[in-house]
Amino acid sequence: MQRHFDQDLANLKDRLLAMASHAENAVDKAIGALNERDDARARQVIELDSTLDQSEIELDEMCINLLALKAPIASDLRLITMAMRITQNLERVGDEATKIAKRALDLNREEPLKPLVDLPRMASLATGMLRASLDAFVRGDTALARASILRDAEVDALNKQLHRELVSYMVEDPKTITRCLNLMVISKSLERIADHATNISEEIIYLYEGREVRHLPKTQDSLGAIPAPKSNS
């Protein structure tokens, strides 16, 4: 019975990492579609969204079955509940990637407004945070999870900076309004992807330390490591 349960837990981790890979790939493709004005790539992202939706449903079902199979010890219970939260965040990353792809299709029909500098930078930061959060999960590295959380402020700052710049464009030339609004939506989606990566990192800290940091200020002091509590197993 225990061996079967342990194998199911291992399968859950593998499926979670596969879903994370799909989500990260969707964001990369969406930004690629924008940078390279590639409609085909944008459509691939839109089609991939249903795969992430289905993965969320299947992973939630796996978690429920694991909870019904036996009364898990505290560490396994944290893993299962964390997995359900992470899948929800990954599905929403997919939603944001789809939103970016749809806006890229709109932008590709018009002349470029400006050289894309801030958006690729934001995308690199957001996908880097997502990748770091999953690396932290695999390695049990809560320091990496904390470092990822602290990068969220940089993405927020870039989002605000780009919005101010795009407002100036719209004021100076009303013909740019549609393109500016599309770019604003993309910027906001990237900011939300970084938020979802932050949520995942917070779950990693809870998994390995049993410490809730979800509602703490995102500073080095407030996120400082504490000794992991003793297991209840």
Q: What is the pTM of this model?
A: 0.87
Report domain extents, the chain. 2-209
How confident is the model over 51-64, as pLDDT tens digits? 999 999 999 999 98
What's phi and psi for 112, nearest 5 deg?
Answer: -60, 140
The contacts of residue 56 (CB under 8 Å, 6+ apart) are 19, 87, 88, 90, 91
The contacts of residue 9 (CB under 8 Å, 6+ apart) are 66, 76, 79, 80
Segment holding 179, helix H or strand E: helix 177-209
How confident is the model over 134-191, as pLDDT tens digits? 899 888 899 999 999 999 999 999 999 999 999 999 999 999 999 999 999 999 999 9
Homologous superfamily in CATH for domain 2-209: Phosphate transport system protein phou homolog 2; domain 2 (1.20.58.220)
